[in-house]
Amino acid sequence: MINVTRCLFLITLCACLGLEAHAQGVADETGRFSVHEWGLLYFPASAPAAPRLHSSAHHLARGQTTHRPGFGGKPLLFFHPEPGFNADAPLDVTITLKGGALREIWPTPKGGVQPKLKGAYTWHQLKIQPNTPCGGELAPPRDGPACMSIGPQGPAALVALGDLQCEAWEMSLYLPQLPHCLQTHDGIRAPVLVYNGALGQQRPIAALTPKGALRSQAKRPLRWVYLSVGVDIYRFDEVPPGGLAQIEAAQKKLTPADFIIDLLGALEAQGLTPLEAGAFIKAWSTPLKATPRGWSALGFLDPAEIEARAPLKIKPQPRAVTRVMAFMLEASPAQIEAARPKQIRLKLSVPKTKQTLDSKSIERAARKQISALRHCYARQGEASAAQEGRIMLKGLVDPMGRITAINVIENTTQDQRLHGCLSARLRRLKLPPPKGGAPAPFLLQIDSTLR
């Protein structure tokens, strides 16, 4: 009897251990993948307003500052299977916008119209297809049901809003071939998952002070914060909650070209792959590279801050989740105007004197060098009010029509470096030989105005 009981106990124990091992094996297999996400949380200049998970925002590049509160675009969810991943294991992915509402998702059920969206949505029975490349070519058509059914707007509103209306379609413009593809339970293939919407009435992540500094209003540190001031961009590695980012304390001052390279590094440092980081830059290339810039500050939220505002639940749980969410503060009209590159307008004239040289010949020769003269202003950096004014030059022409001497006799600008450059450029002029065969003086006036 004891032996029988012992045998039954051992059989039961082995069965339980076997089931547990099988369950653990399944969990290990299906958990062998990671998820990366990037997106943008956008705050208009007219805040407080509903922050939007925003799109590539072509209107930002045009300096327009009127937006519809609550609308936005992206983020994207990228899936990375790892060795040993069970491709037959389905996933459930749920995104929630706390206190807000979704506006668009992709893939939609059967690739058709948008479902009735509220504050959360779940993609059920999703499968990853390892080593099956796909990309922007799988984006839904702009005039297809998934795009045409977004929000309460009809086709007329879609045409009026243009590319900003359908974020999933915009993938076709910037998303490269990715190494893995996704497939829904109803057979729709997609390179990534897309969602967007509004988070409800929340104060901005950060705000600008009257003196142009940035004050954090987040509950957790902000990282890789970029402050746009005129033509320059200043980077701060971290701004603590309630902290102040002032230009004097910036870790780095960047030119517009350096900014893009630095931003790529910041994206990869947070865990994105080079392909994903490049897609981020390309998706927002218009506002990021525009002159003048339509934003005053750009930075990245702490992952815990992202999860608090937009929880992401995936079953089975992936090995790792990397969430990279940028925030952007729109520039005010005054900030955009201040950042607009200034140009100098030059007017050349020859004062009326008793000089022996023909004044019209002098003007014609000087105008041929107008580009070189403008370079004297441009090489000092961006044109400024200090370069406005009048410069009067007096030169001497030899019998062969060559300028042998030239000096500045009047300079009403506040830039004393201009006269040397202008003199050097004007020495290249070839003028008609003076009448009488003797060296002759001449005057040339350059009036500069900022526009």
pLDDT at residue 300, rounded to an integer: 95
Res. 7: pLDDT tops 60: no
Res. 22: pLDDT tops 50: no
| Count of domains observed in the chain | 2
Domain final position from 282, 316, 339: 339
Tell me: do 328 and 351 sit in the same domain. no
User: pLDDT band at 291, cuts 50/70/90?
Assistant: low
The answer for residues whose C-beta is within 8 angstroms of residue 403's C-beta and 6 or more apart is 395, 396, 397, 426, 427, 429, 431
Structural domain includes residue 135: yes
Nearest partner of 331 among 299, 296, 297, judged by Cα: 296
pLDDT at residue 333, rounded to an integer: 65
Tell me: do 379 and 247 sit in the same domain. no
Q: Residue 369 sits in which domain range?
A: 344-450
pLDDT tens per residue, range 244-287: 999 889 999 998 889 999 999 999 999 999 999 999 999 988 87
Give the count of beta carbons closer than 10 Å to the beta carbon of residue 246: 16
Q: Report, in angstroms and rounded to the nearest whole number, the Rg of the chain calculated over CA atoms.
A: 32
Tell me: do 323 and 355 sit in the same domain. no
pLDDT, mean over the chain: 81
User: pLDDT band at 110, cuts 50/70/90?
Assistant: very high
Structural domain includes residue 112: yes
Domain final position from 291, 314, 339: 339
Structural domain includes residue 277: yes
User: pLDDT band at 201, cuts 50/70/90?
Assistant: low
Tell me: do 171 and 300 sit in the same domain. yes
| φ/ψ bin of 437: left (φ > 0), alpha (ψ from -120 to 50), beta (otherwise) | left
Tell me: do 273 and 318 sit in the same domain. yes
pLDDT tens per residue, range 131-173: 999 999 999 999 999 999 986 543 333 333 334 468 999 999 9
pLDDT tens per residue, range 25-55: 444 444 899 999 999 887 765 544 445 564 4
Tell me: do 331 and 390 sit in the same domain. no
Tell me: do 390 and 282 sit in the same domain. no
- To which H or E segment does residue 80 belong? strand 76-81
Tell me: do 334 and 383 sit in the same domain. no
User: pLDDT band at 3, cuts 50/70/90?
Assistant: low
Q: Angle of helix 274-283 relative to helix 256-269, nearest 10 degrees?
A: 140
Domain final position from 339, 371, 402: 339
Token pair 């069970």 is found at 86
Tell me: do 301 and 370 sit in the same domain. no
β strands within 3-49, DSSP E: 33-43
